Amino acid sequence: MIEVLSKELNMYFSSLVAYIVIGVFLLVMGLFMWVFPDYSVLEYCYATMEQLFDMAPWVFIFLVPAITMRTIAEETQTGTIEFLITKPMQLIQIILGKYLACVLLIAFALLPTLLYFYTIYELGSPKGNLDSGAVWGSYLGLFLLGATYASIGLFSSSLTNNQIVAFMLAAFLCFFCHWGFFYMSKLPIFLGSTDGFIQALGIENHYHSISRGVVDTRDIIYFLSFISLFLGLTYWKIENRK
């Protein structure tokens, strides 16, 4: 697994992929945090990082599939997937190695945003006038969200040998799994407590729950289960190909 993880990270950082992904994420988030009038902290005159945590899921819908689209699709297209799965390591180790490389790249993109936290913390009046508990809870939720999107992207990449198709499929599945259940719950056919159950199936409900700063084990279990589901589907797909 370590061999695959190292190979994937080297591939990301030896090309422009990692730098473009991290650069675009920081640029877009920086514009929303400090420049755009309707979102800027300087315009709000209030110490908050809600702009980052509200907009990041939308940015992740495009950036995470861009990271994962080549993971398996490229191997399938070039024929190296057969060589990879015949190496003396378990298939699950190969999948986890590729997955963890994507998750680490997402973590690298999030780390520089801690500068935003420090800046707003220092600018607060009085200094430190910021709900740190909610911020760290939101960071945890955002990381878990990125990890969940990565598992969806990896599965999408295993379904096709075309990277563009893998990107579009992953973006659609990420959007549906995040917001689809919320919009479905608003349909007239779901009444009473049913709409709450439908919303609980979607990522949005659990992401906002963690973002309040209260880390509920049910939300953690939900994200881990979601990730395990899509990694399991990826394993099943590649195993069937074998």
pLDDT tens track for 47-61? 677 788 888 899 999
Residue given tokens 């006038």 in the structure block: 129
pLDDT for 35: 78
- What does the alpha-carbon distance between residue 20 and residue 38 come to, in Å, rounded to a whole number? 26
Report whether 175 contacts 82 (CB < 8 A): no
Q: So what's the pLDDT on residue 242?
A: 63
Each residue's pLDDT tens digit, 98-133: 999 999 999 999 999 888 888 877 776 666 567 777
Give pLDDT, residue 231.
Answer: 94
> So what's the pLDDT on residue 72?
87
pLDDT score for 4: 81
Which residues in the chain come in under a pLDDT of 50?
none
pLDDT computed for residue 233 by the predictor = 93
What's CA 5's distance to the chain center, in Å?
A: 18
Cis link prior to 126 (omega < 30° from 0)? yes
First to last CA, the chain: 19
36: tokens are: 């755009």
Whole-model pTM: value is: 0.89
